[in-house]
Amino acid sequence: MSEFRLDIRSDIKEVTKKLSRIQKKQIPFASALALTRTAEDVRTDLYRTMLKIFDAPVAYTVPKNIKQPKNKGSLYLVPADKRKKRMTSEVFVKNLSFGKGTPALNFLNPHIEGGTRRAKASEKALSAKGLRGGKFLTPSTRSPYGHVSLNRSGNVTKGNMNKILSGLHSIRGMSGNWESRQKSTYFAMPKKGGDGFTGIWERKGKRLKKLFNIVDTPIYKKRFHFYRIGEASAMKHFKRNFQKSLNHALATAR
């Protein structure tokens, strides 16, 4: 899996060639400020694109305030810093979860690169219970029989997933004696004819709820063009940001 990171660097020869020697002293400060402001614009444009291509993304993916998200959302920003001699700013997809669910890189990567996604821990655990290789789980959000509970990030909580996994009878051999396990809290529903399973279900008394679909390996098309959008945004915003930053630097110079 790649790490998606966009470096935004300054190219200010045209803008600064007519400046005086005194004015040019403010260039490092103005450049760092412009780079950071441009990275903020890039992040906003990337989030704006996500809102168009994803169906009602949760705040964990796209924050409510896309212009001032602070540390929320799936993108992280590293500002330029003149004092640290870091004259680049960066926008990248978060590759750590900080204890709050799946890292954003895991679920955005297939939409950026295309292809398949990695198996989740729950899918690997189900393999030990007999789930055939190449099978994946998707939350059953459109079933008339209800759906699995999701948190504000749009994910099944680890605690709920562990409860389902621990209560699920082994899938291997389910079709042979499924009738004898009608009282199970969680079970895999076999397909007609007994060749595989349609999903993971929960039984509460006489009530059934479908929690997950069991599907073949999903294939994703590239639809989130991270670099193309980011680079176009940086080219669009940097010159204006640098001019504003330079004006500010000159006005406040001592």
Amino acid (1-letter code) at residue 131: L
- Of 248 and 252, the structure prediction assigns the larger pLDDT to 248
Per-residue pLDDT, averaged over 210-223, amounts to 87
Highest mean pLDDT among 154-163, 200-209, 230-239, 244-253: 230-239
pLDDT tens string 144-182: 887 788 776 667 777 788 788 777 754 544 444 443 343
**pLDDT at residue 102, as a whole number:** 76
Rounded CA-CA distance 139/122 in Å is 12
Rounded CA-CA distance 178/181 in Å is 5
Model confidence band, residue 1 (pLDDT cutoffs 50, 70, 90): very low
Rounded CA-CA distance 175/191 in Å is 9
**Least trusted range by pLDDT, from 73-87, 99-113, 151-165, 220-234:** 151-165
**pLDDT at residue 175, as a whole number:** 43
pLDDT tens string 32-52: 999 999 999 999 999 999 999
Per-residue pLDDT, averaged over 98-107, amounts to 75
Domain ranges of the chain: 5-114+221-252, 121-216
Average pLDDT, the chain: 81
Q: Which DSSP symbol is given to 181?
A: G
- The percent of residues above 90 in pLDDT, for the chain, comes to 32
Beta-bridge partner residues of 208: 203
pTM for the full predicted model = 0.74
**pLDDT at residue 116, as a whole number:** 80
Q: Quick check: 35 and 8 in contact, CB under 8 A?
A: yes
Tell me the H-state helices in 104-184: 104-113, 121-127, 158-167, 174-177
**pLDDT at residue 173, as a whole number:** 44
Q: Tokens representing 203?
A: 């039984």
Query: Which positions ≥6 away from 124 have C-beta within 8 Å?
Result: none
